[in-house]
Amino acid sequence: MLNRKTSLGMLIGSMVILGTIGIFRRFIPVSSPMLAFVRGALGAGFLLLIRLCQRTIRKRKEPAFSLEQISSDSQLSLWKKFIWFGIPGGMIGLNWVLLFEAYRYTSISVATLCYYMAPTLVILCSPLVIGEKLTIKKLVCALTAVFGMVLISGIAGGELVSFQGILLGLGAAALYAAVILINKKAPDADVYEKTMIQLGAAAIFLLPYLLLGNAFSLKGLDPAGGFLLIVVGIVHTGVAYALYFGSIRSLKAQTVAILSYMDPVVALLLSWFILKEPFSVHSLLGAVLILGSTLISELSFT
């Protein structure tokens, strides 16, 4: 078990890495489906490598093992793993595509805040999907976040920021909310194994679309863009997920909830200071309402 300082450092590191992905996307000249495919494939490969190393260290004196043995700690059948982890993995792939497209059609800050409506959608859908009770606090927080989204959109000020970008961001949020709800119902499994399967499924799900649509191409990708593409696949996915899941076991749930909000904050700050993206007073208030209400809904004050 890691000590608390190490775990905090790992969690903060993962959030900072994830908060920079929008900036990287701006400088990678490939289609969003292709970027999502590479991200899933490289991320899954990286986690597979970690899993193999872990098992090698634990069982160094035992005979060689096959890939099937990597999942031996889990009692789930391959079919159940496909249902519970593979299908959500495909949804994650599509979710990435929509988010990367949202970055193209609107600012990183607006796309990020639209994406962070996912917890609000989970709150509103939980009573119907998984039977969780909708408390007054959660309902108020959800409605506050919705109002914040109205401010972000620009409707309140009479100027819609980007209708297409907002829809893409909210679509990504809806898919991620669905993944969260499915994972809440899914049987227990090793987090590295589950994440590895879901990332691999994301890549596999996108592959037919890329092949059939003749979109499986890296045409126009220069060396700098190629390097950034690899970074997104390995660092922003494999490394970030490994740091995140490796840290949360040693931290309290509320600590994880609070520090997880470094991701959108980093994204917002970078979009303002590096890309010089405009951000109005209405948008700033909307950001506070969305992130603040979502955070409060996840915390217990008892």
pLDDT value at residue 159: 60
Contacts of 298 (CB under 8 A, 6+ apart): 119, 254, 257
Q: Which bin fits 184, alpha (ψ -120 to 50), beta or left (φ > 0)?
A: alpha
Kindly compute the dihedral angle of the four CA atoms of residues 192, 198, 204, 210, in this order, to the nearest 10 degrees. Answer: -120
Per-residue pLDDT band at 157 (split at 50, 70, 90): low
Which CA distances in Å does 155 have to 110, 117, 148, 159?
A: 13, 17, 11, 6
Do the beta carbons of residue 6 and residue 169 sit within 8 Å? no
Looking from the CA of 191 toward its CB, the CA atoms found within 13 Å total 10
Q: How many CB atoms lie within 10 A of CB 281?
A: 9
Structure tokens at 60: 């160094």
**How far from chain centre, in Å, is Cα 185?**
19
CB-based burial, 20-59: b 16+ in 10 Å, e otherwise: bbbbbbeebbbbbbbbbbbbbbbbbbbbbebbeeebeeee
**CA 213 – CA 230 distance, rounded (Å):** 23
Per-residue pLDDT band at 161 (split at 50, 70, 90): low
Query: How confident is the model over 9-48, as pLDDT tens digits?
Result: 999 999 999 999 999 999 999 999 999 999 999 999 999 9
Q: How many CB atoms lie within 10 A of CB 100?
A: 25
Do the beta carbons of residue 301 and residue 259 sit within 8 Å? no
Query: How confident is the model over 198-208, as pLDDT tens digits?
Result: 999 999 999 99
Residue whose C-alpha is closest to residue 36's, from 176, 210, 284: 210
Give the CA angle between residues 115, 205, 100 to the nearest 5°: 30
**CA 110 – CA 279 distance, rounded (Å):** 9
Report the percent of the chain where pLDDT is more than 90.
48
Query: How confident is the model over 73-83, as pLDDT tens digits?
Result: 455 677 777 78
Kindly compute the dihedral angle of the four CA atoms of residues 124, 127, 132, 137, in this order, to the nearest 10 degrees. Answer: 40
Per-residue pLDDT band at 175 (split at 50, 70, 90): very high
Q: Is the pLDDT of residue 209 over 80?
A: yes
Query: How confident is the model over 50-102, as pLDDT tens digits?
Result: 888 878 887 765 555 455 554 444 556 777 777 888 899 999 999 999 999 99
Query: How confident is the model over 94-126, as pLDDT tens digits?
Result: 999 999 999 999 889 889 999 999 999 999 998
Amino acid at 61: K
Per-residue pLDDT band at 185 (split at 50, 70, 90): confident
pLDDT value at residue 240: 94
**CA 20 – CA 37 distance, rounded (Å):** 19
